[in-house]
Structure 1
Amino acid sequence: MLQQLVLVGALWDVLLRLEGLRRATATGSREERELESNYGGLSVRLGLLHLSISLTFLSPFHIVGLLSLSRSVNMATLRALRKLCQQSQHQVCSLHMSASRQEAVVISGRKLARQIREEARADVEQWVSTGNRRPHLSVVLVGDHAASHSYVLNKTRAAADVGISSETILKPSCISEDELMDLIYKLNTDHRVDGLLVQLPLPEHIDERRVCNAVFPGKDVDGFHVVNVGRMCLDQSTMLPATPWGVWEIIKRTGIPTLGKNVVVAGRSKNVGMPIAMLLHSDGRHERPGGDATVTISHRYTPKDQLRQHTRIADIVVAAAGIPNLITADMIKEGAAVIDVGINRVHDPLTGKDRLVGDVDFEGVRQKASFITPVPGGVGPMTVAMLMMNTIKAAKNLLLTPSESIRMVASS
């Protein structure tokens, strides 16, 4: 009842303002009518702002019904407002959003990741309840890189949360490439291991590409093996890289449209930027559906002015270059969606400590964007969640031996 009274008050306010505008512009000289029209128009806009705040309570059709209760208002005024209210629901909602939204919607990657982990947990329990072995993830961690240890800890905690067993195999930074390859071979042929990943980065003396390609494609939960990358490029079902898949899920689960939209991906890394672009631009009707967007990829040699030209017309901007404040408010068009994949440690002069930031000027860009992801708490949690989904996929695919699975992949 209180909500309806608030709405009636807002409607009455607009009616009075419209009636005043009608009377003011009906008489007087041309100059007086223009002045009154400008002032009255502003007055009506203020009334509409008041009304828009109340529109969440009732639909425009309820509003029209309430308007019919009023008999003391000039019928021309009533018809004018009735016409306004009978416009599409989308237009009224747009009025409400533009009048009341001051900042972008901050997408909580943590909240979305919790939803996905709940789905993963249910999937694991259903899989186990039908007599299958619990999925197992093996993580190889080389050296004492602090950030890598933190990332691996997050992954093993997430695995435990969804019911996946896991192990972390620690190796010193002095391990030789051949020794690491031997370890990967043993894990590839261990039937108890469903998912396998080697945490990056690796020491400089080890060839990361050779290591990634050494992991059996069916166990490659990072999605870095050349077979999995190739299948992704062909729009086929495969192990998608966890971070790009996380970006995809953020966009889809948030309801951000991609069909026919302009997208800029800042960053061309083979593990992040390139796969994100592939997912967003590929055909939505294929085996592995894509976003059907028009995608522009920038990189370190793209001039800043040229990058700005592209981002200013982009409906979606994905920042994945690893450069703090690469994307600023002047580079974003009003209402764009901004996904920040960057993870950078910068010194905070106020606290004297390092802090995590992304590639986007968060506070500035959020004033113009429609959606934005924070750092931390945006893409990061989604990466871990999608890694769990890949591990479940690996467990279900490993009904064949590695050699049989490789032959199946090659012939498909």
Structure 2
Amino acid sequence: MFLWKKAVKVLRVGSFRGSNKSVMEDKYADWSKEQLIERLLELETSEPAGGQKPSPSASTLPNKVKPPKKAKASRKFDFSKYDRRFIALKFAYLGWNYNGLAIQKEPTPQPTIEGVIIEALNKCKLVPSTEPQTFHFSRCGRTDKGVSAMNQVISLYVRSNLNPEEQLDPQNDPREIPYVNILNQLLPDDIRISAVCLRPPKGFDARFSCQYRHYRYLFHKEGLDIQRMGEAASLFLGEHDFRNFCKLDGSKQITNYRRTIMSAKILPISDDFYCFDLIGSAFLWHQVRCMMANLFLVGQNLEEVSLISDMLDVEKTPRKPIYDMASEVPLILYDCKFPNMEWIETNLDDYKAIKYGKAIGALTLGYQLKAEIAQIFKEVLPSSSANLAGKTTINLGNGKGKVITKYEKMSRRNVMEAPETVNEKFKQRKRFKNEAKRTDAVSSS
């Protein structure tokens, strides 16, 4: 059908431009489809008088393809021409836009803080690659998705302008690469480097040299008995087995759940907000959020203050009861304590420091404005003070909570598998996968 239409079009218009249209139509009016196609083929293969080929129209000329420009060969940065030095960086971040601190093996829906920092380090050629092991990268505290930090610390080897001997003399520090300013130019506003230590103590490691970690969990006082929560929080003091206050993970193969809590208090932040102020040498996965979830139950008078003691007694409560963790957003890694270190902060009078300081002010103001608008939004909408027809809302720190028909005491709830069982099941799954891989390898060979 396509060839037939083309034949008619060429014969009537294309090949006889300038001829009388009616004459052309009369000439070919009685021709069959086969005759028209045959005539079309004759016209396309024949040459005009004089042996010259017809000049093709612009529409039939092939598009001229320009040869691609040769890409400029990017010069690979030669790290061998530079010395390196071991430093520590102190930084802060707002965690709700990130998938936690640590880089994950599998892709995550949001970037990680470490991933963003290492990308910036690599972009300004302070480290040779994005593989943390190549520059001995170490972090202080590993925070989960949504959790923020105010005084987080990492240690690593970076490129230096000074040779090893010059690095030992503080008088040469002005000649060193301005690590803080350079990185803050590349990092987003919600991740900020606050200080650098150019000469950490001998054998320093951001993870293992930390003496204690200081957390704060913020919450609104509405519907909570603050005094009861303070009494319950004090029961965490000392060394305890926290297997009932963490998330069990067989991949970590943890067998020792004993951790030491140095301070545990409920402190006022403002008229309406308080915080669970917690200091400990080390923490298990989700430990603070699990501790806070139980404090909320005590504060709501759903459980007795003695709940904390009962949960810490692994003979009385050998397996973790099933309960929901508190929200991650109000949790802050507030501080990390190290041996005395020479932290160098940015010069607050420096133009770049002022510039990026103003960026933080703008970020803070933006969140304050959103909070005010959200408050107005709440005030203009109808609200009800009636309860949910006898239902109970368990406080999880996120403002929504969890609505249940009937509250069941922690001592009567179903329990999770024992840590030993979780570890053994993981090892069995791992053995099974390894055996399957070996079987596949043998069969494919």
- TM interval, short-chain normalised: under 0.3
Higher Rg:
2
TM-score by length of 2: 0.21
Write 1 or 2 for the structure with the bigger share of strand. Answer: 2
